[in-house]
Structure 1
């Protein structure tokens, strides 16, 4: 009976990990402008079995060099080019070849952030109006040899000139860890988290 309870607890923990990222994505879709820090993005990673779920949120300034909603043809083209680059997740976030990973899904959006009524911004003092844009990407990756996922290297900082720092949150069945990837250290050690 104890083994069945342990298996049930493991299954519930696994389910919680897989459910967490969509909930975070939904929350991000509805969030209002909070502390806006250029140069800093967030990368959430959930790993279970052979599946890796990732969510990236980054200010528009970091990705395309402007934070307002694209209005000119050149700006719109820059947004589309950036979305295409971000959609190629295994080029932006490189996993070891030995892990035999492939992209199952990649969804990249350019979203508007809005002010709460009464808030002001240096760029525009009209509360409730869209002020900034951010990039939001979600990915599902499967790996043929998940035990070989011992690290990750990113081209994010070379692909996107404004990116300076990614705050990384990793969730696995073993627990949660936090790390940072930067221009000076564009790697993430995943040894022992599987």
Structure 2
């Protein structure tokens, strides 16, 4: 399985055509033995409608709501694989005390690691991100695992990554 991990590192290091596009995020999926890792990157604007420090209570509430949505686990592997969340790491600018330099694009970065009791049955991951973030219209996804690699574009009408 070291081969899968090596391929994953090379695959995910490839550049993506559009790095920071408002309304569009990126999801990288790595399957290694019984571990499923989802790495998410979203422009802050897609989640809250602005890309700067909040200026009022409504904007602070929007940031807090985005944080709750990300912590509530916006991804669900198909039930047959019996995956359980093992770890999550969410970086939400301004809410977590991190403020980027002026003029920089601001992104939410999150990762979710699952252990799957039946990894051979892992065939899909569904997301609720489009329901949670109405400004998000596309999620460019790349996947690598024992069955190969692939890419797929998720949208509000197609919120499941399948392979």
Task: Report the TM-score range of the alignment, normalised by the length of the smaller protein.
Answer: 0.7 to 0.9
Query: What SS class does the counterpart of residue 141 from structure 1 fall into?
Result: strand
Deviation per CA, 1:81-133: give whole Å up to 9, x if none: 212211232xx22222222111111111124555xxxxxxxxxxxxxx24442
More helix by share: 1
RMSD of the alignment, in Å? 2.4
Give the distance between the partners of 1:85 and 1:135, measured in 2 at CA: 12
Matched, 1:57 2:41: yes
Partner of 2:92, secondary structure, is strand
State how 1:52-91 maps to structure 2 within 5 Å: 52-89=36-73
Runs of 4+ off more than 4 Å: none
Return the alpha-carbon distance in structure 1 between the equivalents of residues 40 and 19 of structure 2. Answer: 17
Count of residue correspondences? 153
SS class of match (1:185): coil
Check whether the contact 1:69–1:132 (CA below 8 A) recurs between aligned residues: no
TM-score (norm 1): 0.69
Q: Which has the higher contact order (CA 8 A, sep 6+)?
A: 2
List gaps (5 residues or longer) in structure 1: 1-10, 25-33, 115-128
SS at match of 2:60: helix
- Once residues 160 and 46 of structure 1 are traced to their aligned partners in structure 2, the CA distance between those partners, rounded to angstroms, is 24
User: Could you tell me how far 1:77 is from its partner in structure 2?
Assistant: 2.9
Structure index of larger Rg: 1
TM-score (norm 2): 0.81
Deviation at 1:17, TM superposition (A): 5.4
* Structure 2 residues not aligned, in runs of 5+: 94-98
Contact 1:51 1:142 in 2 (8 A): yes
Q: Evaluate the alpha carbon distance shift between residue 35 and residue 49 of structure 1 in structure 2; reply closer, same or farther with a 3 A threshold.
A: closer
Equivalent positions of 1:1-194 (< 5 A) are 11-16=1-6, 20=9, 36-89=20-73, 92-111=74-93, 114=101, 129-190=102-163
Does the CA contact (< 8 Å) of 1:110 and 1:135 recur in 2? yes
